[in-house]
Each structure stands twice: as structure tokens, then as C-alpha cells.
Amino acid sequence: MSAKGGIYDLLKAHFLVNEDAVKNWKFIIFLIFLAILMIANTHRFEQKVFKIADLTNEVKELRSEFVDRRSELMKLKMESSISEKMKSREIFPSKVPPKKIKVVKPEESSLIKKIWQ
């Protein structure tokens, strides 16, 4: 058998209609099954990669929004910004610093202490 005849037989698919064709068909079906499995697996992998990329972008956006909101809150909490907003209501900051008030709670005597007194 020459090389030209082998290629010609391959192109004509004589290996699919020979007496040993059942073995060849089983192998071909097995290869098709593996190819479909590989394609499906690759497709699922790519979907997960795209989802991870989307979630990463979303995390970056949310983190930057968080930083913006936090800085905005810090500006709003500053005494100067609060006093500016209170000027329209004619409420001004105090000139006298606040004093700390301590409340001393009297000790509650236990039942045994009450009996011995």
C-alpha cells in the first residue's frame, strides 16, 4: 500500500466501513464525547473568569465609593462645618469649654451587710 493510497483511503473514510469498523466507531464516539466535555469545561471556566472580573470591578467601585462617603462624613462632622450650618439658626459654638460631670452611684448594700449593721 502506497502513501497515496493510504491518504486516499483515509479521505474516502474506508476505515469506517471495514469489518473492524465497530472498534473505530467506538473510539470516534469516545473522542467526540471527550471533545464535548472539554468544550463545556472551557466554557464554564471562561464564564467564571468573566464573573470574577466583573466582581473585582464592582469591589473596586464600592471601595472607592466607601472612601468618598467616609471623607464626606468626616467633613460633615468637623466642628467648623457644623457651626457654619448652625449660623442660619443662630446657634453659635460655646465660648466656655464643657465640663465633665461624674455621677457617683451609691453602693447598694447586700443583705448580709444590712443584717450586721
pLDDT digits (tens, 9 = 90+) for 31-45: 999 999 999 999 999
Contact criterion met (CB below 8 Å) for 15 and 28:
no
Tell me the three cell numbers of residue 69. 462617603
The yes-or-no verdict on residue 30 having pLDDT over 80 is: yes
The yes-or-no verdict on residue 1 having pLDDT over 60 is: no
The yes-or-no verdict on residue 5 having pLDDT over 70 is: no
Residue 102 lies in a domain: no
Residue 69 lies in a domain: yes
The domain of 39 spans 3-94
Q: What integer pLDDT is reported at residue 17 of this predicted model?
A: 73
Residue 103 lies in a domain: no
Residue 50 lies in a domain: yes
Report pLDDT digits (tens) over 50-93.
999 999 999 999 999 999 999 999 988 888 888 888 888 888 88
Average pLDDT of the segment spanning 26-30: 88
Number of structural domains (the chain) is 1
Residue 105 lies in a domain: no
Q: What integer pLDDT is reported at residue 46 of this predicted model?
A: 97
Q: What are the b/e assignments for 79-102, b being 16+ CB within 10 Å?
A: eeeeeeeeeeeeeeeeeeeeeeee
The yes-or-no verdict on residue 4 having pLDDT over 80 is: no
Q: Where are any strands of DSSP class E within the chain?
A: none
Residue 86 lies in a domain: yes
Residue 104 lies in a domain: no
Is 2 buried (19+), middle (13-18) or exposed (0-12) by CB count in 10 A? exposed
Residue 48 lies in a domain: yes
| pTM reported for the whole predicted model | 0.51
Contact criterion met (CB below 8 Å) for 93 and 83:
yes
Q: What integer pLDDT is reported at residue 31 of this predicted model?
A: 94
